[in-house]
Structure 1
C-alpha cells in the first residue's frame, strides 16, 4: 500500500501491514503511538525519532524498530519510508525500546515488493510468504548505536530536546545548570543519574548525531567545521569512536 494512513487499515485482520509513504521536506510527524510494532525504514533522507526516553537518528537505508504503544514523534528530512506495522504477537522478540538497525540488500528489495501488497483485497499465498520472509529477516539485523538517552526530569529533558534541535557550542554545564534552576554540582549529579553519562559527553554525542543529516549535502570537512571540530580527522575519529562507523559510511543516500 502506498500513501495510506494506518487508521484506514489498522483494523484489518492481518499480522503485517506494509505502507510506503512519501513525506514533504522537513515534515514533523507529531507525538503519537500505535498498538502495533513498527518497522520504519528510510529509503531516502534522514529520520529523527524521539520518545519520552531517548532520541534516535536514522540515516537513509537504515530502519528503526519502534515498540507498540510507545509515544513518539518523527521528523522526516527528505524522506520516503517503507513501514511495516506488525501485530505484537507476531514479533515476540521485538525490543522494548527503539533501535536503529542496518538493512540488508535482500530486505530492501523485500520491503519494496511488499509496498505493492494491499491486504484490503486479501492476501494470496505469495503475499503471505513474502511477509513471513520479511519478518524472519527483520529478526536478524544488526543494531547501529545512533542514540542518546533523554532524562526523565522535565527540566533536564527540555534542555536536551532543545539542544538536539539546535546544538550550540557555547552551551556548557554552567549554562544548563542555571537554566534548570540548580547548582552546577546538583545539576551534573542528577544528569549523570538519569542519562548515565555526563552532560558534556551527552552534548558531544548529540552534536555527532546532528552531523548525520548535514552529511547528506555537505562534505565531512564542512560538517566538522560547523560542529566545532579543529580538523576533519578529529571529527571523523570522534564519530567513528561513538558510532562504530565512519561519517562517510553513514551518509544518507
Structure 2
C-alpha cells in the first residue's frame, strides 16, 4: 500500500500492515501514537524521532522500531518511508523503547516487496512468507547508538531540546547550572541521575547527532566547522568512535534505494 493513512486499514485482520509514504521536505508528523508497533524505514533522507524519553536520529537506509502506544513526533528531512504496523501480540520481543537499526539488502528488498501488497493480502503463499521473513529479519537486528536520552525534569528538558535544535560547542555546565539556579555540582549530579550521562558527555553526543542531517547537504569539513570541532579530522574521529562509521558515509551521495 502506498500513501494510505493507517486509520483507513488499521481494522483489517492482518498482524502486519506494510505502508509506503512519501513526505515533502521538512514535513513534521506532530505528536501522535499508534495502537500497533511500527517499523519505520527511511529509504531516503534523515528522520528525527522524539519521545518523552529521548531523541533518535535515523540516518538514510536505517530504520527505527517504535513500540506500540508510544507518543512520538517525527521530523522528515527528504524522506520516503516504508513502514510496517504490527499487532503487539505478534512481536512480544519488540523493544520497550525506540531503537535504531541497520537495514541490510535482504530486509530492504522484503520491505519494498511488502508495500506493494493490498491491505487484505493473502495469509498463504508468497505474501505470507514475505511477512513472516520480515519479522524474522527485524528480530535479528542489532541496535545502533543514534540517540540521546531526555531527562524528566521540565527545566532540564528545556535545556536539552534547545541544545538539540541548535548545538553550541561553547555552552558550559556553568551556564546550564545558572539557568536552573543551582550550583554546578548539584546540576551535574541531577543531570546524570536523569540521563545516565554527564552534561558534557550528553552535549558532545547531541552535537554528533546533529551532524547526521547536516551531512545531507554539507561536506564533512563544513559540518565540522559549524559544530565547533577543531578540524575535520577531529570531527571524523569523534563521529566514528560514537557511531562506528565515518561521517563521509552519510555525506556521500548514494543510489536511491527505492530504485533497486
TM-score, normalised via structure 2 length: 0.93
Alpha-carbon distance between aligned partners in 2 of 1:119 and 1:193, rounded to the nearest angstrom: 45
**Equivalent residue, structure 1, for 2:50:** 50
**Equivalent residue, structure 2, for 1:104:** 104
**Equivalent residue, structure 2, for 1:60:** 60
Alpha-carbon distance between aligned partners in 2 of 1:180 and 1:112, rounded to the nearest angstrom: 48
Alpha-carbon distance between aligned partners in 2 of 1:251 and 1:57, rounded to the nearest angstrom: 15
Alpha-carbon distance between aligned partners in 1 of 2:143 and 2:246, rounded to the nearest angstrom: 15
1:83 is paired with a residue of what secondary structure? strand
Kept in 1, the 8 Å contact 2:42–2:80? The answer is yes
Alpha-carbon distance between aligned partners in 2 of 1:136 and 1:71, rounded to the nearest angstrom: 26
Alpha-carbon distance between aligned partners in 2 of 1:122 and 1:132, rounded to the nearest angstrom: 12
**Equivalent residue, structure 1, for 2:233:** 233
**Deviation, structure 1 residue 178:** 2.3
Q: What is the aligned-residue RMSD (CA, Å)?
A: 1.4
**Deviation, structure 1 residue 122:** 5.4
Cα deviations across residues 184-203 of structure 1 (Å, max 9, x unaligned)? 22211100111111111111
Q: How many residues align?
A: 253
**Deviation, structure 1 residue 232:** 0.8
TM-score, normalised via structure 1 length: 0.96
Alpha-carbon distance between aligned partners in 2 of 1:11 and 1:130, rounded to the nearest angstrom: 21
**Equivalent residue, structure 2, for 1:192:** 192
Kept in 2, the 8 Å contact 1:151–1:157? The answer is yes
Kept in 2, the 8 Å contact 1:33–1:71? The answer is yes
Kept in 1, the 8 Å contact 2:122–2:128? The answer is no
Alpha-carbon distance between aligned partners in 2 of 1:163 and 1:118, rounded to the nearest angstrom: 43
Alpha-carbon distance between aligned partners in 1 of 2:159 and 2:120, rounded to the nearest angstrom: 44
Q: Are residue 169 (structure 1) and residue 139 (structure 2) matched?
A: no
**Equivalent residue, structure 2, for 1:19:** 19
**Equivalent residue, structure 1, for 2:34:** 34
2:143 is paired with a residue of what secondary structure? coil
**Equivalent residue, structure 1, for 2:224:** 224
Kept in 1, the 8 Å contact 2:57–2:209? The answer is yes
Gaps of 5+ in 2: 255-260
Gaps of 5+ in 1: none
**Deviation, structure 1 residue 251:** 4.2
**Equivalent residue, structure 2, for 1:181:** 181
Kept in 1, the 8 Å contact 2:121–2:127? The answer is no
Alpha-carbon distance between aligned partners in 2 of 1:158 and 1:68, rounded to the nearest angstrom: 26
Cα deviations across residues 103-148 of structure 1 (Å, max 9, x unaligned)? 0101111101111111246555321111111111111112211010
**Deviation, structure 1 residue 179:** 2.2
Kept in 2, the 8 Å contact 1:9–1:120? The answer is no
